Structure 1
Amino acid sequence: MVGTTAVAEARPASLYAPSAVVLAVAQGEDGDTVVRASALSCAPTAQGTHPDPRAACAALAATAGTLDALLAAPDSNRACPMHYAPVTVTADGVWQGSRISWKHTFSNACAMSAAFNGNAVFAF
């Protein structure tokens, strides 16, 4: 009896590098008290629990994975109160195949909103 041997060929599940992150908004400087969170997957298509995954993925793509670039153009016409009630935003996951973990703390929710200036990433 002649036997046959099959060799399993490794194939990627997708031609796109994985891009999936969990975005969170938390009260406080430590980021431990999460107020809201959203899952976002950008490759091969924009999807997830984020209310506008296409816009959020486009904004992240524009940063080339450098999330500090999201803060590059704050709204200088927006006046925020000078009270301290820290809000911390985080992004953890994989962007174009590389692990990312990003965290930024704002003095209050108004300062956070002004910093993102209409950017869809943390608009959930």
Structure 2
Amino acid sequence: MRHRFATVSAAALLCLAGTAGLAEASPASSHGPSAMVFTVTQGGDATTGTVLRAAVLSCAYTAEGTHPDPRAACDALNAVDGEFDRLLATPDRGRACPRRKDPVTITADGVWNGDRIGWKHTFRNECVMSATLNGNALYAF
């Protein structure tokens, strides 16, 4: 399992490196470049779990990357000003989720406004993740 994560991470980071280089060359942001890799991993440890999905996002002059809706994702990232814990602030309390333990870990790695970011959060299961992120476009891939 570790090899799958390493392969996806290496490929994503190569994309990120290329995208980050483009972001640095672009004068779009007065705060510095923004290029991130996002993952959703089955398990409580992102380094040993199975990567379910991943996306690369660059929020330079234009929003681009492998994310299916890069503009909405960049807007969501701007809304929390790169403070990923704020994504967890407004869970949908009306949504009932099973109590079963089947951990899912989300990560964000890269550069946000010129600052290095490495963030992760583990949810009890995918339903809790969905209810907590409550339609946030950042992890809608």
Same fold (TM over 0.5): yes
Choose the corresponding residue for 2:79, options 43, 56, 62: 62
Normalised to the residue count of structure 1, the TM-score between the two structures is 0.88
Give, as a single letter, the amino acid of the residue that structure 2 aligns with 1:120.
A
Please say which structure displays the higher CA radius of gyration.
1
Q: 1:122 matched to which residue of 2?
A: 139
Q: If each structure's helix is expressed as a fraction of its own residues, which one has the higher value? A: 2
| 5+ residue gaps, structure 1 | 1-11
Choose the corresponding residue for 1:49, options 66, 69, 73: 66
Question: After TM superposition, which residue ranges in structure 1, 4 or more long, deviate above 3 angstroms?
Answer: none
Normalised to the residue count of structure 2, the TM-score between the two structures is 0.77
CA positional deviation for 1:13: 2.0
Q: Percent identity?
A: 64
Count of residues in Structure 1 that have an aligned counterpart in Structure 2: 113
Q: 1:20 matched to which residue of 2?
A: 35
The secondary structure found in structure 2 opposite 1:110 is helix
Give, as a single letter, the amino acid of the residue that structure 1 aligns with 2:42.
Q
Task: Please say if 1:108 is aligned against 2:125.
Answer: yes
How large is the RMSD of aligned CA atoms in angstroms? 1.0
| Separation in structure 2 between the aligned mates of residue 23 and residue 13 of structure 1, nearest angstrom | 22
Task: Please say if 1:91 is aligned against 2:111.
Answer: no
| Separation in structure 1 between the aligned mates of residue 57 and residue 78 of structure 2, nearest angstrom | 12
Deviates more, 1:39-48 or 1:104-113: 39-48
